[in-house]
Structure 1
């Protein structure tokens, strides 16, 4: 059995992972996660730099992924294949939320004539699990599995507004907010106040904080027992609706569809 490098053993000990933790499997997942919209094709060296893993480990991981049909190599660089979607399908197929929420997103998009998506909180990001496009998909098009920062998105704030104060404070304490546009709120005290306001009013609205040119409104998505499990969001271009009337224009349809979902989410 291969032994861990001393450095990796120290990292495992520091992380708190037990003896059953599979280091090779974790490295393989890191290699998969290195690919993305801006890194569709990467050489072995590119992946090693992106993951901060030794080249021999990256080489074995890429070789294994290629053998399984999850990646392919043109002789110089690697890229993931469509088969990698089987990993996402496993989650979506086993997660009732995605199946139930997709039709609701489509209905909201039809009623508002804007793009609609549902997202869950994963650490400091939101991850989209359902979506329906409308209007100008060239910029507003979300995709299943797309990650965005939670702190400056309406969906993220809608979910965060439902967590206990101690959990929220701990989350904000470790948050490292980055400026995305001239409108991005990065002051943690201001963010906390904004999230508490969302809790009070029942919805979150952001104006050009994630990307210039559009704003969004989101509401928490609750399970049958009242626990918040996601958020559903409508995004629109600035010229389609002034910020002042944004919530008034789209909130009614959003709330009606989301409230109808609650009894279905067991």
Structure 2
């Protein structure tokens, strides 16, 4: 989810913080499916920069090959994919995480994902799917509001109480569908229920047509470092059938993944949840 550059966290920034680099990264993140091409003023407005500052960053990114321009509209170039591929291969996701997801999808069909928390969002770091419907994409690298996904709610339930309190205090859940929980108080109740149950089910919260079940992936000390889910089409599966038919196997897969992650300390360090 794109966020504006603000001064709200300035006091928390180290003295070595490079503002220009932060602006450039924010510009790269502001492009998405509905903003694939933008003018200079559109980029500046989405990132919360002055046109002059946005122009300097865009020219730098263009010179480096990450951004292209046609007429007066800017767009990302394929070189941007090298940034995510560096993460993908350095963390050995294909070797460590993807086989477990393939096994789950071979067993049930549908889709399976692993996500971790970054601020208020869940980021999908591994995904396998046989689904082809038009719906919110759960591809690797996608990020969505944590409160609207089964993965995100499991991750939020795994936060320490103080971190969860801070999240509930500032979150403003968007009404992504008519079933979305938008009241922070009701959201807290839901998250606490997830903490008690040890799993989360969602129906049409992020997008219509998505029913999902998620469980935590925990490190050796019992801390939630990521979450694993299985999802299907609303109408073909229900939360009750997911819990009855898939929960035991999903928990076993989460345990297997946790053991695999423990073999690669750098992977555990990288994907650990990052609350705001």
Match of 2:130 among 131, 134, 144: 134
Question: Given that residues 224 and 265 in structure 1 are in contact (C-alpha distance below 8 angstroms), is that contact kept between their aligned partners in structure 2?
Answer: no
The residue number in structure 1 matching 2:219 is: 223
Structure 1 residues 224 and 62: alpha-carbon distance in aligned structure 2, compared to 1, 3 A threshold: same
**Do structure 1's residue 121 and structure 2's residue 113 form an aligned pair?**
no
Match of 2:145 among 133, 149, 173: 149
The residue number in structure 1 matching 2:238 is: 242
Name the SS for the 1:151 alignment partner: helix
Name the SS for the 1:126 alignment partner: strand
Name the SS for the 1:58 alignment partner: helix
CA-CA distance at 1:96 after TM superposition: 4.9
Q: TM-score normalized by structure 1?
A: 0.89
Structure 1 residues 26 and 211: alpha-carbon distance in aligned structure 2, compared to 1, 3 A threshold: same
Distance in 2 (alpha carbons) for counterparts of 1:12 and 1:215: 36
Distance in 2 (alpha carbons) for counterparts of 1:198 and 1:97: 27
The residue number in structure 2 matching 1:19 is: 15
Larger Rg: 1
CA-CA distance at 1:97 after TM superposition: 5.8
CA deviation map 1:31-70 (0-9, x unaligned): 1112111111111121111112122222221111111111
Decide which moves more: 243-252 or 109-118.
243-252
Q: TM-score normalized by structure 2?
A: 0.86
Question: Given that residues 115 and 140 in structure 1 are in contact (C-alpha distance below 8 angstroms), is that contact kept between their aligned partners in structure 2?
Answer: no
Question: Given that residues 213 and 239 in structure 2 are in contact (C-alpha distance below 8 angstroms), is that contact kept between their aligned partners in structure 1?
Answer: no
Distance in 1 (alpha carbons) for counterparts of 2:30 and 2:201: 31
Q: How many residues align?
A: 258
Name the SS for the 2:235 alignment partner: helix
Distance in 1 (alpha carbons) for counterparts of 2:168 and 2:56: 38
Name the SS for the 1:53 alignment partner: coil
The residue number in structure 2 matching 1:75 is: 71
**Do structure 1's residue 32 and structure 2's residue 14 form an aligned pair?**
no
**Do structure 1's residue 198 and structure 2's residue 194 form an aligned pair?**
yes
Where does structure 2 lack aligned partners over 5 or more consecutive residues? Answer: 263-276
- The CA RMSD over aligned residues, in Å, is 2.2
Distance in 2 (alpha carbons) for counterparts of 1:148 and 1:119: 10
The residue number in structure 2 matching 1:182 is: 178
